[in-house]
């Protein structure tokens, strides 16, 4: 090999970078989605829409709620099953999901999203 030292060094740096997720995770115990604190059974047993759907679509739902309240003055959401909910982040979602820290943030920290909603909206008081 010609210039072998430099080329091998370059390759090692390259493998170090592209393989980073492997090195970072090596030896760590299997990853699991964090446990969420769900609303107590006495309060509610299901979300406003199907749980699977909520997991994937809740941000979209909140976005349409926001537009429809703020731009169209529409305050009521009709769920797929026909019941009515007030379209409100603080008064609906956070009424059932009364802990941002143990619910929303659990997923969001793992997925590295930080919704900026809380710059303005007020999260429920966390019990210590």
Residue with tokens 């679509």: 57
Q: Where on the phi/psi map is residue 48: left (φ > 0), alpha (ψ -120 to 50), or beta?
A: alpha
Nearer to ligand HEC, 12 or 121 (CB): 121
Closest to 75 measured CA to CA, from 66, 84, 86: 86
Q: Which of 82, 120, 125, 128 binds ligand HEC (CB under 6 A)?
A: 120
Q: Is 58 in the site for ligand HEC (CB under 6 A)?
A: yes
Q: How far is the CB of 5 from ligand HEC (least distance, A)?
A: 43
The mark string for 51-90 relative to another protein (x by CB under 8 A, - otherwise) is -x--xxx-xx-xx---------------------------
Residue with tokens 């030896």: 27
């Amino acid at each position: 090999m010609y210039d072998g030292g430099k080329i091998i060094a370059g390759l090692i740096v390259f493998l170090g970078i592209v393989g980073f997720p492997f090195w970072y995770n090596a030896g760590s115990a299997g990853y699991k989605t964090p446990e969420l604190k769900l609303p107590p059974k006495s309060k509610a047993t299901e979300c406003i829409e199907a749980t699977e759907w909520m997991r994937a679509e809740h941000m979209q739902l909140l976005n349409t709620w926001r537009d429809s309240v703020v731009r169209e003055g529409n305050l009521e959401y009709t769920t797929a099953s026909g019941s009515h909910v007030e379209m409100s982040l603080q008064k609906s979602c956070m009424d059932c999901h009364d802990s941002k820290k143990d619910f929303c943030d659990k997923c969001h920290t793992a997925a590295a999203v930080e919704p900026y909603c809380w710059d303005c909206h007020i999260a429920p008081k966390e019990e210590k």
